[in-house]
Amino acid sequence: MPTSLAAFRKQLAASELKPAYLIAGEEHLLVLEAADALRARARELGYIEREILDVEPHFDWNRLADAGRALSLFASRRLIDLRLPTGLPGKEGSAAIIAYCEAPPPDTVLLVTANDWSKRHEGAWARAIENAGMFVPVWPMKREELPGWIGARMAQKGVNATPDAIAWLAERIEGNLLAAAQEIDKLALTAEGRRIDVETLEASVADDARYDVFRLTDAAIGGDAARALRILAGLRAEGEEVIPMLGWVLSQLRQLSRLAAEPGGSMGGGYGREAALRRALKGADPLHWERCLAQAARVEIFAKGQNLDAAGRSWGDAWIEFERLIAAIAKPRVAKELFA
């Protein structure tokens, strides 16, 4: 059976780790923090060596078996950190993971993380990890759960806030847990023992560029391409970077792609304006949102400087590709031309 985050954290306190873990979901912050907790516990238990496998297009799945067979350089335990952003290993990857889990090597832990998860991701490979160890799905947080999560995180960071302030922040960040975590971290540094009220929070976030990214996606999903592109141009002029903004855009695209593939599915966790999401879904088919996700991956490649030709020269521009993505979200009918 899948394991909750709370049960997973309790298991980490045990004297031994399981041979394999799958931590997957669209709540990137929770996935990251759960994976970090496992890595930290592994270090405490002597898993000194760590091999990172980033699954990208044309990834060689033989590397997983090779990593499992490799001898430790320092006679220590080892952690294989397999990062599968899409949560879709494909036929070859599924076979490789199943084979690994059928005979996991001793003194080795396999950690698989995925930043996308839904029913379409479930398969024999995920069950193989669960049978060998533990599957921890991280589902989108429900609206009514968010104030409790914010309050608990504030208490953990030593921030004292009024219930109204917690409710205001929950509404303001619209489900972006990373934005909430960053705001709480900032408050922990600046509150200086004061009790945080709504007025204090309003002043704290008034000039925060993160909330312009929310307005950017609201405009794009709402079909207002001109406004969305003006906001994007303003963010560029202010010196904002593409990668941090792309994370929130990606989360909205993944939700739209999931809902388009599962008609009538729940909008659970959909803080980005349910009515706007439903209108967007009516204006485009599922393939459109898959194309947008592919374009987002292209934006990320360009933003990370990985767009080099054989001579080492860069081609294309991340901001231009980002503009195309935003325009395509707002105007599905012209997406084919934009992505051509």
DSSP per-residue codes, 40-77: HHHHHTT--EEEEEE--TT--THHHHHHHHPPPSSS--
- pLDDT tens-digit map of 18-47: 999 999 988 888 999 999 999 999 999 999
Q: How many other CB atoms are found less than 10 A from the CB of residue 72?
A: 12
One-character DSSP codes across 141-187: PPGGGHHHHHHHHHHHTT-EE-HHHHHHHHHHHTT-HHHHHHHHHHH
Contact (Cβ atoms closer than 8 angstroms) between residue 212 and residue 250:
no
Which pLDDT score, from 0 to 100, does residue 319 have?
A: 93
Domains 143-205 and 210-339 equal at CATH topology level: no
Structure-block tokens of residue 109:
């832990």
Which pLDDT score, from 0 to 100, does residue 310 have?
A: 55
Contacts of residue 97, Cβ cutoff 8 Å, sequence gap at least 6:
64, 89, 112, 125, 128, 129
User: Class of 210-339 per CATH?
Assistant: mainly alpha
Which pLDDT score, from 0 to 100, does residue 263 have?
A: 61
* Homologous superfamily (CATH) for 5-138: P-loop containing nucleotide triphosphate hydrolases (3.40.50.300)
Structure-block tokens of residue 283:
């204006």
With a cut of 70, list the residues of the chain below it in pLDDT.
Answer: 71-75, 174, 205-211, 263-275, 307-315, 340
User: Class of 143-205 per CATH?
Assistant: mainly alpha
Which pLDDT score, from 0 to 100, does residue 131 have?
A: 95
Which pLDDT score, from 0 to 100, does residue 41 have?
A: 96
- pLDDT tens-digit map of 188-213: 888 878 899 988 887 776 555 555 77
The pTM assigned to this predicted structure is: 0.64
CA 275 to each of CA 186, 222, 246, 278, 281: distance values in angstroms, whole numbers, following the listed order: 32, 9, 22, 5, 10
Contact (Cβ atoms closer than 8 angstroms) between residue 217 and residue 235:
no
Which pLDDT score, from 0 to 100, does residue 269 have?
A: 42
Domain ranges of the chain: 5-138, 143-205, 210-339
Contacts of residue 86, Cβ cutoff 8 Å, sequence gap at least 6:
55, 114, 115, 116
Lay out the sheet containing 108-114: strands in order across: 49-54, 78-83, 108-114, 20-25, 134-138
Rounded Cα–Cα distance for residues 29 and 75 (Å): 33
Which pLDDT score, from 0 to 100, does residue 70 have?
A: 78
Rounded Cα–Cα distance for residues 126 and 101 (Å): 10
